[in-house]
Amino acid sequence: MHAADRVTEFIRAIERYDIDTAIAMTTPDITQENMPIDPIVGHDAVSAALEMFLAPTTDVDWQITRQHGVGDRAAVNERLDRFAIGGGVGSVDDADGLITLWCDDFDMGSHQRQLAELT
C-alpha cells in the first residue's frame, strides 16, 4: 500500500472514532508530534491522546487539502481539521508499511479559544 493511501485510511479511521484500527496502522513506538506540545510516544499514549481529543466531539472531519506520497515510505498532507462539540463547530488550521512518525503543526491558542467557546 502506498504511504499516502495508508495515511488517508488512518485519518478516516479517526473520523469514525475507530482508534483501534488507526493504532493498528502504526508501529508500537510511533511518535506523534503536535508542535506546540511535547511528543507522544507509543501505542498506548497515542491512543489515550486520541481518546481524550475525541471525547468531547460529536463529529470529526479532517479534510485533506493536499497530499503527497513517496511510494510506501513517506507521505505529507495538509488538512483542515473540523470538529463538532456541543452543537458548535471548530477547526484546527493545520516500518513494514506502518506509520512511524505523525507530526501536526497548529495554532494552539486558536484551538484553545475555540474549544473554550464550544464547551
CB-based contact 78:68 (threshold 8 Å): no
User: Does the model's pTM come out above 0.85?
Assistant: no
Q: What residue ranges define each of the domains in the chain, with the CATH number in brackets?
A: 3-118 (3.10.450.50)
CB-based contact 32:20 (threshold 8 Å): no
Q: Which residue has the cell 506546540?
A: 36
End-to-end, the C-alpha distance of the chain in Å comes to 39
Q: What is the pLDDT of residues 35-89, one digit of tens each?
A: 778 999 999 999 999 999 999 999 999 998 889 988 887 888 888 889 999 888 8
